[in-house]
Amino acid sequence: MLRILTAAAMAAFALMPSAPVRAAESETIAIIGTGPVGAVLGPRWAALGHKIVYGSRTPDAEKVKALLKDSPKATAAVPSDAVKKATVVVIAVPGGAAKDVAAGLGDLKGKVVIDTTNLFNFKNGMWEPEGSDSVVGQIQAAQPGAFVVKAFNTVTAIVMKNPAATGFPVTVPLAGDDAAAKAKVSALAKQLGFETSDIGKLEMGRTVEHLGRLYIYYGRTHPERLEFNFRTWKQP
């Protein structure tokens, strides 16, 4: 089902309009990790009518209770329970923990998994070299039946809360193997006021992770922030 896209849907995805749109269907979205990213995406999608289930190691903690107050109809559970009824699973944990967290969620076959993570090691003003594997590749390997999409790692939580504050369209690059999964993630991102750009297959997730490192590096070394605002053109 996920792999079947109509020509119209594909065309709409390719255009990627910047105006916030409301997805036709309401999703059940499990958000794994209740840090700054989960705490922005959850309430924003809940306000748009999606059912949010927060997956936390401590679902009874005060920080999770505060999130539930901000998220209409949301619930919280430990991560492996939170994903059970979800159609979409958002991994919003430290990049170094993402592989093990994904592996511990049970079988996510058929679900769309959004990997928001960044893995970086910033030392003496420079990046330490990372391994040859991408985090998104590790998550897909841990969940071979899931439709994994890299997304949102190139946007700070402040911009996730209000992309319009930048004064221009902010682009969320997407990488993943399944076109319909990317279309679903694109629709969810557009609901929040983002544009999206389909960069390519999952193997391009590593490049998108490097864009995340560029984003963080720029923010740490300049007084102003850099945001991605992709524009395409047809070379004559």
Cβ-based nearer residue to ligand NAP, 53 or 180? 53
Q: Using the 8-state DSSP alphabet, how is residue 29 labeled?
A: E
CB 20 to ligand NAP: min, Å? 19
Tokens of 61: 């903690």
Q: Which residue is nearest to ligand NAP (CB)?
A: 35
Joined together, the tokens standing for residue 161 give: 């809360």
DSSP 169: P
> What residues pair up with 125 in beta bridges, in sequence order?
none
**Binder to ligand NAP among 30, 33, 189, 193 (CB under 6 A)?**
33
Residues 202 and 102: their CA atoms lie apart, in Å, by 16
Is 214 a residue that touches ligand NAP (CB under 6 A)? Answer: no
In sequence order, what are the residues at sequence separation of 6 or more whose Cβ sits closer than 8 angstroms to the Cβ of residue 78?
55, 56, 57, 59
Write the interaction track for ligand NAP spanning residues 148-187; mark x where CB under 6 A is met and - where it is not: ----xx-xxx------------------------------
Report whether 205 contacts 150 (CB < 8 A). Answer: yes
User: Site for ligand NAP (CB under 6 A): which residue of 71, 117, 138, 191?
Assistant: 117
Interface with ligand NAP, residue 57, by CB under 6 A: yes
Q: Which is nearest to 199 in space by CA: 223, 182, 180?
A: 182
Binding site for ligand NAP (CB under 6 A): 33-38, 56-58, 92-95, 97, 101, 116-118, 152-153, 155-157
